[in-house]
Amino acid sequence: MKYVFIEKHQAEFSIKAMCRVLRVARSGWYTWCQRRTRISPRQQFRQHCDSVVLAAFTRSKQRYGAPRLTDELRAQGYPFNVKTVGQACAVRG
C-alpha cells in the first residue's frame, strides 16, 4: 500500500522524502519497482501452458474437457497436470 502511494505521488515529492515519512526503505521501493516489471518463471510457465492448452482446445473444436485435453497434451510430450489444464481452461473460458 505504501509503495503504491509512493508510485502515485513520485512526481510531486521526492522518493527519498516519501520513504522517510512512510518509514520504508528506499531499497525496498526500488526492489518493488523491479519486481512489478519482471515476469516470474511461474508466470512464464502459466502463459506457455495457457497458450498450449488453448491451441489444443481449438484443435479439438472446443469439445474436449480438461481430462481429455490432458491426455492429448501428455501424448504430445507436455507433462501437464489435470488441474493445471483445468485452470487454463477456466481462465480462457
Average pLDDT along the chain? 91
Residue ranges of domains in the chain: 2-37, 41-92
Buried/exposed code over 43-68 (b: 16+ C-beta within 10 A; e: otherwise): eeebeebbebbeebbeeeeeebebee
Locate cell 520513504: which residue?
Answer: 19
**pTM for this predicted structure:** 0.62
- Mean of the pLDDT values across residues 47-52? 92
Q: What is the DSSP letter of 83?
A: H
* Whether pLDDT at 6 is above 80: yes
In whole angstroms, give the CA distance from residue 60 to residue 63.
6
